[in-house]
Amino acid sequence: MKNYELLTIFKPSLDSDELDKAVDKISSDIKAAKGEVSSVDKMGRKKLAYDLQGYRDGFFMTMIVSLPAEAIVEFKRNLKLNDNILRFMFMEAAKKAGVNA
């Protein structure tokens, strides 16, 4: 399994409980696909550079996840169908650069 980074922007109209439930839903979808969540970083509410679906700001969250290759397409489809998500970016996590002295 490869490591991936998921950056998600949630609607600003969600309260903290709804936001936690949305994050838990994504985590449970990953576990159901035989993947695992390494870390979750809730970055908070930030102003957007331009309007997304009529919203000027959103809740940003990043996750580092491991997923099997055959589960990625279905996972991305579920993210697109989630009404609470304004935008997401799913990419392969970069390996940390080492410094050779």
For 53-87, what is each residue's pLDDT tens digit?
899 999 999 999 999 989 999 999 999 999 999 99
CATH number of the domain encompassing residue 49: 3.30.70.60
User: What is the pLDDT at residue 101?
Assistant: 55
pTM: 0.85
Instruction: Please indicate, yes or no, if residue 73 is contained in any of the structural domains.
Output: yes
Instruction: Please indicate, yes or no, if residue 86 is contained in any of the structural domains.
Output: yes
Whether 47 and 57 have beta carbons less than 8 Å apart is answered as yes
User: What is the pLDDT at residue 45?
Assistant: 92
Whether 44 and 60 have beta carbons less than 8 Å apart is answered as yes
**Best CA proximity match to 88, nearest among 48, 61, 69, 53:** 61
The parent domain of residue 71 ranges over 2-92
Instruction: Please indicate, yes or no, if residue 101 is contained in any of the structural domains.
Output: no
Strand partners, 37: 65
- Each residue's pLDDT tens digit, 22-56: 999 999 999 999 999 999 999 989 999 999 889 99
Instruction: Please indicate, yes or no, if residue 48 is contained in any of the structural domains.
Output: yes
Instruction: Please indicate, yes or no, if residue 100 is contained in any of the structural domains.
Output: no
Instruction: Please indicate, yes or no, if residue 99 is contained in any of the structural domains.
Output: no
Domain count, the chain: 1
